[in-house]
Structure 1
Amino acid sequence: MSALVDLLTAVFRQPTLKGLAVELASLAAPLWVAVLVGLLIGWAWRPRWAVAVVGDNDQAPAGTPALPRRAAADDSCRKNGAAVVPRAAMAAAAPEEDEQLAVGTGDLMHLRRLVEEKDGGPSWIHMMEKTQPEMRYQAWRRDPEGGPPQYRSSTIFEDASPEVVRDFFWDDEFRIKNTWDDMLLQHETLEECTRTGTMVVRWVRKFPFFCSDREYIIGRRIWASGKTYYCVTKGVHRPSVPRSNKPRRVDLYYSSWCIRPVESRNGDGSMTACEVFLFHHEDMGIPWEIAKLGIRQGMWGCVKRIEPGLRAYQIERTAGEPLSKYAAMAHVNTKVDPDELIAAEDKTEASSTNNVEAEKPKHWTGNIPKVLLVGGAVALACTFDHGLLTKAVIFGTARRFAGPGRR
């Protein structure tokens, strides 16, 4: 404390206002840098404090409804390797069966409300608009209270059918083979239902070098309403899949599309273009402001890879290449009448079964005192002491408080 008092006394002895300002700036700059470094260190150790923030990793995320046990009698909905029936037009599942699936009617209605902008969320902020000869792209963002940033985009592909675009986004094998989605490292089917097309898959996605790779357990399903397809993918809880430190599990994940034909911009009135409305948000375990910056900087670089990938996929389909099991499952979808869908939307507007919005874990800022402790420790170590032993003690004390584990 006496050292701090002496330092401040020396600063305020400056004879001019300019000199005082320079001295204060030179004093404050390393403190702020040290605090920022401390925040990053605190984030790096976050998995240990996450137990206090969002609960035990072996428990379902707060607000996630308990999933009922699958009906053992239904042989068409089973784990790991159910026979896939390609190009089948499947009837809608019975209501009681629908409730047992990883993705249900409530998720369809939630996506419908997002598409129609009737979900009651904040207004969307326009972020980006890009145009290429065969693709048009727009993106929006909004920041709901207590949840990660949400993104909405509209991508229009010229000369593309909704059916091929649907299969393209569902085809995990082609994602890796073509590398249009170069973040996907591994994929595995855990469950599949050949009656409804519902799947549970495991993904491992590559993150930047300073982050661990991320693991996702995703439930997904497609509904068809005429030529419009509602494709829902969301994070689901599966205790049977053990967690590990690397890759880190992402629990809160939502990424769903509405795919529909639209008029081509060639001006002849033909419906030969295809629009994809995407709604996406996830809690990657990265501070949300940092994630927003990274997404904004890298968004267009990722999006512009999609169109060449789609054209390569179209060429393979035209050449008669066999469908992968993932593309075949995209053909197994639940048919819904457009008028009945509108009527059901009106009835369920107030509530939604398995609504992904219920999955809102407490943000990392809920444990802010530990972040400040680490930042303060770094500031003390870097500013007021030049001895390595004392620095080691300060860092060690802060690390012991925050938890010894790293990402």
Structure 2
Amino acid sequence: MDASGKVNYSLWGKPAVLETAADVMMCLVPIWVAITVGLIVGWSWKPRWVSFILLGIRSRPRLVWQAPPGLGARRFWLAMTAVSAYPMLKEVWTKFSEWMWPLVQPAEALPSSVQSVLSSQCAVTESHTKISITDEDLSSFMKQLDEADGGPAWQLLMERSATNLKYQAWRREPETGPTEYRSRTVLEDVSPALMRDFFWDDEFRVVWDDMLIYNKTWEECKDTGFMITQWVRKYPFFCKDREYILGRRIWESNNTYYCITQGVPYPAVPLRHTPRRVDVYFSSWRIRAVESAKGDGQLTACEVMLFHHEEMGIQRDLAKLGVRQGMWGCVKKIEPGIRIYQAERRQNKPLSPCAMMAHVMSKVPSALLNDHKVTTTSDGDSSVIGKEKHNLSHGYLRWMILGGAVALACGVERGAVGKFLVFGVVRRLGKLGRRL
């Protein structure tokens, strides 16, 4: 739904439908191959009870309901078939449930790299347990921004753009833990401070984020701005809703904001069967002003670098497919949402408690600033994308030149002098193609 209140059906355009259909078909290929192999193997090794089932299927089905009352042969066969098939169906459903909705390991059984996501400093007092996000968490996040965290290389996932909005997304597969995502969103005519409040304001989030169905703030620290928040997010009909217990804190340096949100243990909210608790969760932003795409040299645009991963408890390939298909649709809702938020701020409406907590920030330690290469423009990210496109275009050009040279050489059939000249040209073109 856009700012005017009209429903936007652009997600159901032809390119999106074709891309989704292609992804679904690719996912179905291994399933059909497995079914075919299973039928062949199962038919060759079929047990005796299969013969009884086939015998019943071959007979006329109408005898099932026309049989007289009492212990008839047909009803006895149906009862025995149901009793025999129940353990098999139960085992099939168990295997399917484990594949579709894998259970998340408890925190103490997770690898050390995943436990670092859940780690937080806990100080037990007489009244309650206080959990905080420390400078070590900020340092780890800044290493991710510098691509110095030791993880695998990022793979470009998509590039999209709309009015006053530019979006790029990457993905990588670590050795342990869930799939990690990185995205860069640039919005025109938005200040970093407004974007910071926009992301932190849970009361306004329900206006543009239709997946959030419940939120509650459990603890606040007026000195550091640390918060403990409970979220419940709506998932598709075949999945349970997900519950998040999040620790949140903001650091600031030279009008650049580092907003860290990650899952934290919190005994005050007991674990329930539904909604399902998500323990492994990390979603953090760097918000700063960048040069506008208008080319006027003014820092009137806002850049949001997001790093996100979570253990949703869904089969890995299905989760990747869902994230890929839904991420651009979610990002497109940000632009009309921020415009409504801007209009409300111009009317001097009072801030919500969550937005007021976004103004309580910590200063980035000078030691981290010296280690972290902070830039005021997006040249670094643009250069990476430009390099990928440069290498890709040169790869296509190289093969076009080499292919054209081979075709030219093979197309000459007569004349020794002509062939000599053509092969000389082919050799030069081949050297040019290798340099590219």
User: For the superposition of Structure 1 and Structure 2, which TM-score range results when normalised by the shorter chain?
Assistant: 0.5 to 0.7
CA contact (8 A) 1:216 1:249 kept: yes
Deviation (angstroms), 1:103 = 0.8
- Distance change (3 Å), C-alpha of 1:164 and 1:5: closer
Q: Does 1:236 align with 2:267?
A: no
Deviation (angstroms), 1:240 = 2.3
Aligned match for 1:54, one of 102, 105, 109: 105
Deviation (angstroms), 1:122 = 0.6
CA contact (8 A) 2:120 2:134 kept: no
Please give the per-residue CA displacement for 1:339-380, whole angstroms capped at 9, x wherever unaligned. Answer: 53233669xxxxxxxxxxxxxxxxxxxxxxxxxxxxxxxxxx
Aligned match for 1:149, one of 179, 190, 198: 179
Q: Does 1:226 align with 2:254?
A: yes
CA contact (8 A) 1:61 1:251 kept: no
Q: How does 1:5-84 map to 2 (within 5 A)?
A: 5=44, 39-43=95-99, 46=102, 50=103, 54-55=105-106, 63=115, 64-65=118-119, 67-70=121-124
Letter of the structure 2 residue corresponding to residue 233 of structure 1: T
Q: Does 1:158 align with 2:212?
A: no
Please give the per-residue CA displacement for 1:143-187, whole angstroms capped at 9, x wherever unaligned. Answer: 0012110000000010000000000000000011x1x11110110
CA distance in 1, matches of 2:120, 2:109: 8
Letter of the structure 2 residue corresponding to residue 54 of structure 1: Q
2:286 equivalent in structure 1: 258
> Which sections of structure 1, spanning at least 5 residues, go unmatched?
9-34, 80-99, 347-407
> Which sections of structure 2, spanning at least 5 residues, go unmatched?
1-40, 48-90, 374-436
Aligned match for 1:268, one of 296, 301, 311: 296
Aligned sequence identity (%): 51
2:29 equivalent in structure 1: none
Aligned match for 1:328, one of 356, 361, 379: 356
CA RMSD between the two structures: 2.9
CA distance in 1, matches of 2:230, 2:110: 18
- Distance change (3 Å), C-alpha of 1:152 and 1:187: same
CA contact (8 A) 1:236 1:251 kept: yes
Q: Does 1:217 align with 2:245?
A: yes
- Distance change (3 Å), C-alpha of 1:239 and 1:71: closer
- Distance change (3 Å), C-alpha of 1:60 and 1:230: farther
1:380 equivalent in structure 2: none
2:368 equivalent in structure 1: 341
2:276 equivalent in structure 1: 248
Please give the per-residue CA displacement for 1:185-228, whole angstroms capped at 9, x wherever unaligned. Answer: 11011111000100010000000000000000000000001110
CA distance in 1, matches of 2:42, 2:293: 71
CA contact (8 A) 2:120 2:131 kept: no
CA contact (8 A) 1:219 1:234 kept: yes
CA distance in 1, matches of 2:369, 2:344: 36
CA contact (8 A) 2:247 2:263 kept: yes
Query: Which stretch has the larger CA shift, 113-122 or 226-235?
Result: 113-122
Please give the per-residue CA displacement for 1:259-318, whole angstroms capped at 9, x wherever unaligned. Answer: 000000111100000000000000000011110011111111111111100111011001
Deviation (angstroms), 1:6 = 7.1
- Distance change (3 Å), C-alpha of 1:44 and 1:126: closer
- Distance change (3 Å), C-alpha of 1:44 and 1:108: same
Q: Does 1:117 align with 2:147?
A: yes
- Distance change (3 Å), C-alpha of 1:210 and 1:5: closer
Q: Does 1:317 align with 2:345?
A: yes
Q: How does 1:187-202 map to 2 (within 5 A)?
A: 187-202=215-230
Q: How many pairs align?
A: 286
Deviation (angstroms), 1:336 = 2.4
- Distance change (3 Å), C-alpha of 1:42 and 1:6: closer
CA contact (8 A) 1:255 1:280 kept: yes
CA contact (8 A) 1:205 1:214 kept: yes
Q: Name the one with the larger helix percent.
A: 2
- Distance change (3 Å), C-alpha of 1:60 and 1:70: farther
- Distance change (3 Å), C-alpha of 1:72 and 1:194: farther
Aligned match for 1:174, one of 199, 204, 207: 204
CA distance in 2, matches of 1:60, 1:215: 21
CA distance in 1, matches of 2:225, 2:149: 26
CA distance in 2, matches of 1:311, 1:217: 29
> What is the TM-score when the length of structure 2 is the normalising length?
0.61
CA distance in 1, matches of 2:281, 2:201: 19
Please give the per-residue CA displacement for 1:82-139, whole angstroms capped at 9, x wherever unaligned. Answer: xxxxxxxxxxxxxxxxxx6421101111111111111111100001111112110000
Deviation (angstroms), 1:43 = 4.0
Letter of the structure 1 residue corresponding to residue 192 of structure 2: P
Question: Which one has more relative contact order, counting CA pairs under 8 Å at least 6 apart?
Answer: 1
Letter of the structure 1 residue corresponding to residue 105 of structure 2: V
Letter of the structure 1 residue corresponding to residue 123 of structure 2: R
Letter of the structure 1 residue corresponding to residue 256 of structure 2: T
Q: Does 1:103 align with 2:133?
A: yes
CA distance in 2, matches of 1:120, 1:6: 50
